[in-house]
Each structure stands twice: as C-alpha cells, then as structure tokens.
Amino acid sequence: MTDTLRILHLSDTHLYGDGRLHYGIVDTLAALDRVLARAASLAEVDLIVASGDLSDDGTAASYRKLKATLEPWAAERGAAVVYAMGNHDLPDGFEGVLGARETETTVRGFRVVTVDTSVPLAGYGRVEEAQLDRLRDLLATPSESGTVVVLHHPPVAPTTVLFESLRLIDSQPLLDTLSEGDVRLVLAGHYHHGLVTEAGPAGIPVVVAPAVANTTDVLWPAPRERAVRGAGFAWVQLPDDGPARAHLVSAPAPDDGETVYDLDAAGVQRIADDAGWRG
C-alpha cells in the first residue's frame, strides 16, 4: 500500500519581534496568517516545513510569534513542524525558541533532516565538511521511505541577479553526498519565488517554496532586481513508491503585484558588497 507524505512547505516569513513592517511596507505576520488560511482547505497535512529566514530581526519574540502561529495550526491537523535556519535567522533566538538548528525527524516512515546553510553576517550559504560528515553518517542507514532534506539556500543556480552573490557556495559536495544516500527530495527557500527542478548526479527533485514576505519578479530584466507584494506556499506530496508532486499556491491579497523594492545595478552591487560571496 502506498503511503504519501503531505507537506505544507513555507519559507521566508521574515517576522519581526516588534511587529514592524518588512521594507516598511509588508505586514509579514498578516501574510503568514493569509497563507495558513489559504492552506486550511487542504484535506490532510502530515508535515509543515519552514525553510529559513523565519525572522528578519533574529529576536526571540519573532520566533515566538512564528511558533504561536504555526504550531496550533499544525496540532489541529496532527502535523509535525520542522524549522530550518536562514541567513536572516540568528542562532540564539532560533535555538532558544525553536530548538536545534540541525535536526532529524521521522514522519510516516520518511526521515526529515534539516541542514543549516547560514553563514554568520552573510547572505550567501555554505555547508561545512563537518555537516557533510553528519549527513553521511545519517544516510549510511536507509530510512523506511526515504529522506527529505530541508535547507534554506537552494543547491541550484539562482534565476535573478541579486542572488548570484547570495547563493549556496560550492554546492557540489553536498549534492554528491545526498546522491549517495536515500534522499528523495530537497526543500529550500531563499529565492522568494517558486521553483521546481532537479540537482546532483542522481537528479534529486528540488522544490523552492514561494516566500511569505514578498515575491521576486523573475521576469524583471537584469541588471535590475524587483520584488512585489505577494505570498504563497508549496504543497508537496511524496509517495513512498513514486516521484514527488509539487504545487505552487498563492495566497492572494488586493495589493498583490505592487512593488516592494526595485534595485538598480548599483543597489544590487551594494548588497553583494555587504553580504555576498567575494570568492
């Protein structure tokens, strides 16, 4: 009999402890409420994944808001909740409220593993050798239905110019490690737009969830970078005997599509200089 893991995949909530607006414009807590209201029509949810940039200010208060919003919603449905660190998250606040930065959870026979790709004071991501060793040790023993890996920075190339310097650095060792085990699916965020693709020697499916906070305009011409109002999530079904299916779902609001920011080449370069990879 086929068993299917049903995942509500959220990312980039960018909450603030003091309730301020993201970019002075977006009420991210209200956006999260809207996403959950939209997702409430799902018949069954086994797992909620929140794949990083959960907070924008890294305060314990922001993580408490997230936990107080997500966990009762999950409990009503009997769903587990898994959190991953993003580049805006800070270890002290995250760990103090949400727990360890790297975890292993079993849900319906599927192993769910989080990987912390954050680099202190940087916007780009990296996975260190010690983390790869941890993954090798975990994956040396197959799980009943396979493994889902959750991280913030996608192990696939970015679509827009802003994320070129904010990408996951040297992703190949990670992909090689994942391809050697029973990894069925990688869930990520960071890019603020939905993306479904494959990566690594084994062609592992990768689902990048739309952001809750805002939406990257993937059609905006380089060298500019634009984000607009808009929130969404990924609805992912992973059967134990077949390929994953992912649907990218919006949670509409009347002001969707309004510009949140529009960066010229100099603005993109300032972010790269401040938080990007210089290697």
Does residue 152 surpass a pLDDT of 50?
yes
Which residues have CB under 8 Å from 273's CB, separation 6+?
Answer: none
Long-range contacts of 17-24 (CB under 8 A, 24+ apart): 17/55, 17/57, 17/59, 17/60, 17/61, 17/62, 17/64, 17/65, 18/57, 18/59, 18/61, 22/56, 22/213, 22/214, 22/260, 23/214, 23/260, 23/261
The model's pLDDT over 89-136, given as tens digits with 9 standing for 90+, comes to: 999 999 999 999 999 999 999 999 999 999 999 999 999 999 999 999
pLDDT digits (tens, 9 = 90+) for 213-270: 999 999 999 999 999 999 999 999 999 999 999 999 999 999 999 999 999 999 999 9
What is each CA distance from 171 to 52, 180, 254, in whole angstroms?
Answer: 18, 15, 39
Is pLDDT of 38 > 50? yes
Average pLDDT of the chain, as a whole number? 97
Residue type, 258: E
Whole-model pTM: value is 0.97
Answer whether residue 72 shows pLDDT above 60. yes
Nearest to residue 98, comparing CAs of 147, 131, 49? Answer: 49
Q: Tell me which of 3.40.50.300, 3.60.21.10, 3.30.450.40, 3.40.50.720 is the CATH number of domain 4-275.
A: 3.60.21.10
pLDDT digits (tens, 9 = 90+) for 154-191: 999 999 999 999 999 999 999 999 999 999 999 999 99
Q: How far does CA 157 lie from the centroid of its chain?
A: 15
Q: Distance of CA 44 to CAs 67, 77, 134, Å?
A: 20, 7, 32
Question: How far is residue 214's CA from residue 228's CA, in Å, rounded to a whole number?
Answer: 6
- Going by pLDDT thresholds of 50, 70 and 90, the confidence category of residue 279 is confident
1 — pLDDT class (breaks 50, 70, 90)? very low
Beta strands in 11-127 (DSSP E): 47-51, 80-84, 104-107, 110-114
What is the amino acid identity at position 53?
Answer: D
2 pLDDT exceeds 80?
Answer: no
Q: From the CB of residue 243, how many other CB atoms can be counted at a distance below 10 Å?
A: 10
Residue whose entry in the numeric block shows the structure tokens 């607006």: 21
The rounded distance, in Å, linking the Cα atoms of 62 and 147 is 29
pLDDT band at 151 (very low <50, low <70, confident <90, very high): very high
Task: Please name the amino acid found at residue 197.
Answer: T
